[in-house]
Structure 1
């Protein structure tokens, strides 16, 4: 029985590794690329993909596989993510109006930031529809922020992302750099195309980091302290709104 449990858990882990292969902005991936990223033999990947398609977690497209409607439907049932996205929208739009930059909401998956919502180009859009350089810079800033606030991450999510193979090579920051980020309260990320981003934490009543807000745009037009102040103000209002919606007393 123990051996069967280990085998079932292993197959579940392999199936999830296939779903985790998709990166922001990627619509379809070939089976061979999914197998390579998930580090699976092609026959195993083919079998698991067929099951995921049957369950609606994946769909077959013109050039490969894409995430399925069943996965989206399942994601919309996550109470905190849905609540955060709904509550964050007006604050994302207002922060965009103030900074004239794209603004994003990230949720922590261990030390991996997962983009949950965003406002790009002056209008609310799906995060997959914007400039890859902005997402890259914003994700970089949010990842640094999560590492700097590691002690404040919710225990239920800590460690999971560290056990998973990284989606792209990332430079691990030094302890001194992380200490500076924690002290000043924001992280700076950059892409290779002259795009910069600032990320700040969103904390709940107990001081646990539950999300991150990031703004991204042309690096030469980004004022770190001013942008961080706008994001921090939005984060505080969002935190209070979440506490109220959850039936908790907001922190004064």
Structure 2
């Protein structure tokens, strides 16, 4: 069974999807981490961000390995390195690169083949897994999403300004929704979950309830 969780930046998709996968006993596919890793590799390689073919070549040279808690890039654990504000900003270059998106889409489908998976991102229900049995669109208010991101960055030891986090989030939202290929969109058969006012446990409870409802209604279970 494939469960997709899409939504805007700061909605809490990664943490909620990871915890949901643990509760269900499914594998977790953090697609955002894959794009972040490509951006990190591009920065290290000194690519010209205005030359998308350079980043595509870097992406094609990478071996990405994902587990529920970590991502390895060519054998190096980059789980923490990809979460800085700088890499978050640069990730847009990977997300906007059609060659990179096609490459990572193929890798995501290979990861999920024959598996029970909870996957999160922007285009999981619309592009990567349009036939997924359970589709969820996780969202929150703009200021709430920025506040969460601000607190997360502070916890990682970064000196950040809430207004700047909000400004960059608005730019990212605009790029995500206007992207020609793989842009953020709610699938017509996705179930929307607004997380404002919910703590992490309540969010996962709600998501698990949705998945179990789909399983019961459809008569499907895990593989």
Return the TM-score normalized by structure 1: 0.25
Which structure has more relative contact order (CA 8 Å, sep 6+)? It is 2
- Using structure 2 for the length normalisation, give the TM-score: 0.27
Structure whose residues are more often strand by fraction: 1
